[in-house]
């Protein structure tokens, strides 16, 4: 791979690691996006060589998806029919996991489409890429997003039909080139509404129109969902102090969710465990309270964690101090 310049390194850093402070405008270009895809492919192949055999099927599938994305990708010009057809045909005839996933970046619609070949069907997963200004500005705390938005399974026989393939290819190509005017956000200026170019496109052409077309041929299915809880920072907003704070809170929350019950069984009757839980509750609350002040979902999670820790201390304390059975906990 050629030597990377400072501008390219900044681009990769922004799009791979997603630091708190990101550019306030589009910073991509055809060569940069191509280099990003190549970097991910090279990294996955190196990772495959070092990985355990139990993980190689998933890594090979990721490599295949990125290779298919690169084959169908044509930079700022969007998808092309010949390349898209070749990738879909490869999906139809694939027998190996590494060739059974295809991803399309529908940039003009601010959307992504992932196709997964399964037994007897092909599953379409559609989702929004960047949130709209309305979603960002109306959210208090973290903006929670779901990927994919919808998943629809189309029978393999229908998917492999030449007429279906022709319509699907033309639809994907057109969507990648043309922005539907009604999906552009509007802003009122001088008593008239104009297209707001600084806002992101609503992905409804993909997440609603295409999904509705596919739903008429298949059925909606449940797939593993990824939730993204993004902190919303403007360019003028300084990063929150003590960047390590969320990681410390997450460690406590993860430990409570996965290990607390087992730990309590091993500590029953040990009064020192009660004192330790008391300190943990006070420290967790003193750190979490200011951090979650503007994050309603985080505050709710904090109160649940504290309640679970209190219940654990109560179970241990009742065995260590039997006299506590004579007193009400004063918690309804």
Q: What is the pLDDT of residues 218-259, one digit of tens each?
A: 999 888 777 665 544 433 333 334 444 666 788 888 889 888
DSSP sequence for 174-230:
HHHH---GGGS-EEEETTEEEE-TTSPPPTHIIIIIIHHHHHTTSEE-----EEEEE
Residues 126/150, Cβ–Cβ less than 8 Å: yes
In a domain, 259, yes or no: yes
- The residues with which 143 forms a beta bridge, in sequence order, are 230
State whether 145 and 223 are in the same domain.
yes
Condensed to tens digits (0 to 9), the pLDDT of residues 141-177 reads: 566 677 788 899 999 999 999 999 999 999 999 888 8
In a domain, 236, yes or no: no
pTM of the model: 0.63
State whether 85 and 145 are in the same domain.
yes
State whether 224 and 254 are in the same domain.
no
State whether 95 and 36 are in the same domain.
yes
CA 170/CA 193 separation, integer angstroms: 32
What is the number of domains present in the chain? Answer: 2
Last residue within a domain, chosen from 231, 259, 293? 231
Q: Which residue has the tokens 């008593």?
A: 191
Residues 229/143, Cβ–Cβ less than 8 Å: yes
State whether 130 and 13 are in the same domain.
yes
CA 27/CA 7 separation, integer angstroms: 10
State whether 227 and 259 are in the same domain.
no
State whether 173 and 260 are in the same domain.
no
Using alpha carbons only, what angle is made at residue 199 by residues 29 and 11, rounded to the nearest 5 degrees?
Answer: 30
Last residue within a domain, chosen from 171, 199, 231? 231
In a domain, 78, yes or no: yes
In a domain, 240, yes or no: no
What tokens appear for 7 in the block? 């501008």
Residues 113/213, Cβ–Cβ less than 8 Å: no
CA 202/CA 111 separation, integer angstroms: 9
Last residue within a domain, chosen from 231, 253, 268? 231
What tokens appear for 319 in the block? 């065995």
State whether 142 and 271 are in the same domain.
no
In a domain, 1, yes or no: no
In a domain, 321, yes or no: yes
What tokens appear for 170 in the block? 């033309």
For 294, which DSSP code? T
State whether 62 and 126 are in the same domain.
yes
State whether 215 and 298 are in the same domain.
no
CA 36/CA 206 separation, integer angstroms: 24
What's the length of the chain?
Answer: 332
> Cα–chain-centroid distance for residue 23?
20
State whether 145 and 83 are in the same domain.
yes
In a domain, 126, yes or no: yes
- Nearest Cα neighbor of 111 from 195, 204, 26 is 204
Domain residues for the domain of 163 are 6-231
State whether 161 and 36 are in the same domain.
yes
pLDDT values of the chain reduced to their tens digit, one per residue, 332 residues:
567 788 888 888 888 877 777 777 777 777 788 888 888 999 999 999 998 888 888 888 889 889 888 888 776 667 888 989 999 988 888 777 556 889 998 888 889 999 999 889 999 999 988 777 677 666 665 666 777 888 999 999 999 999 999 999 999 998 888 777 767 766 666 665 555 665 678 888 898 889 999 999 999 988 877 766 554 443 333 333 444 466 678 888 888 988 898 888 888 878 888 888 888 898 888 888 888 887 888 889 999 999 999 999 888 888 877 887 777 777 65
In a domain, 212, yes or no: yes
Burial 67-102 (b: 16+ CB within 10 A, else e): bbbbebbbeeebbbeebbbebbebbeebeebbbbbb
Contacts for 253-256: CB closer than 8 Å, 24+ residues apart:
253/301, 253/305, 256/305, 256/308, 256/309
């Amino acid at each position: 791979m050629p030597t990377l310049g400072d501008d390219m390194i900044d681009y990769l850093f922004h799009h791979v690691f997603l630091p708190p402070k990101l550019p306030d405008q589009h910073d991509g270009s055809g060569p940069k996006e191509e280099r990003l895809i190549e970097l991910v492919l090279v990294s996955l192949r190196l990772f495959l060589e070092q990985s355990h055999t139990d993980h190689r099927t998933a890594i090979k599938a990721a490599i295949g998806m990125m290779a298919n994305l690169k084959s169908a990708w044509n930079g700022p010009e969007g998808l092309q029919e010949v390349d898209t057809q070749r990738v879909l045909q490869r999906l139809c005839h694939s027998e190996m996991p590494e060739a059974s996933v295809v991803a399309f970046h529908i940039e003009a619609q601010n959307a992504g489409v992932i196709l997964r070949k399964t037994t007897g069907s092909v599953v379409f997963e559609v989702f929004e890429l960047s949130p709209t200004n309305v979603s960002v500005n109306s959210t208090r705390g973290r903006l929670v997003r779901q990927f994919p938005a919808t998943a629809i399974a189309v029978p393999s026989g229908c998917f492999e039909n030449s007429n279906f393939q022709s319509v699907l290819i033309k639809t994907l190509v057109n969507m990648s080139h043309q922005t539907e005017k009604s999906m552009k956000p509007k802003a009122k200026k001088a008593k008239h509404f104009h297209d707001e170019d600084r806002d992101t496109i609503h992905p409804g052409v993909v997440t609603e129109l295409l999904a509705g077309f596919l739903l008429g041929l298949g059925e909606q299915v449940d797939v593993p969902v990824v939730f993204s809880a993004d902190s919303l920072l403007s360019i003028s907003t300084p990063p929150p102090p003590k960047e390590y704070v969320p990681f410390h809170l997450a460690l406590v929350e993860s430990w409570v969710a996965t290990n607390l019950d087992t730990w309590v069984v091993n500590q029953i009757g040990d009064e020192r465990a009660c004192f330790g839980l008391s300190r943990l509750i006070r420290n967790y609350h003193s750190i979490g309270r200011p951090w979650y002040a503007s994050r309603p979902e985080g505050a709710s999670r904090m109160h649940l964690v504290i309640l679970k820790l209190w219940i654990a201390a109560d179970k241990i304390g009742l065995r260590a101090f039997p006299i506590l059975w004579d007193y009400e906990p004063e918690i309804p």
